Amino acid sequence: MKKIMLVAAVATFAIGLGSCKKEYTCECSYTFGSETLTSSSKITAKKKDAETACTANQVSGYTCKIK
């Protein structure tokens, strides 16, 4: 019984680590002729939410992605 409780506690801890929010950098670039303009911003969220937020900020001609 103690072994089962230990395994359950470790599994719960591991799942908890996977759902933590982290800081990601959203980098957007725009190429105009021979010049490329870039900007970046920090997003603190789960990876999937950060990717969604980053690409939601795209405007015509810009390409945004998580780095």
Q: Name the band, by pLDDT with cuts 50, 70 and 90, for residue 23.
A: very high
Q: Could you tell me which of 47, 58, 1 has the C-alpha nearest to residue 25?
A: 47
Q: Name the band, by pLDDT with cuts 50, 70 and 90, for residue 19.
A: low
Q: What ranges do the domains of the chain cover?
A: 21-67
Spatial contact of 29 and 40, defined as CB atoms under 8 Å apart:
no
Q: Which residue has the higher pLDDT, 16 or 59?
A: 59
pLDDT at 1 over 90: no
Quote the pTM value. Answer: 0.62
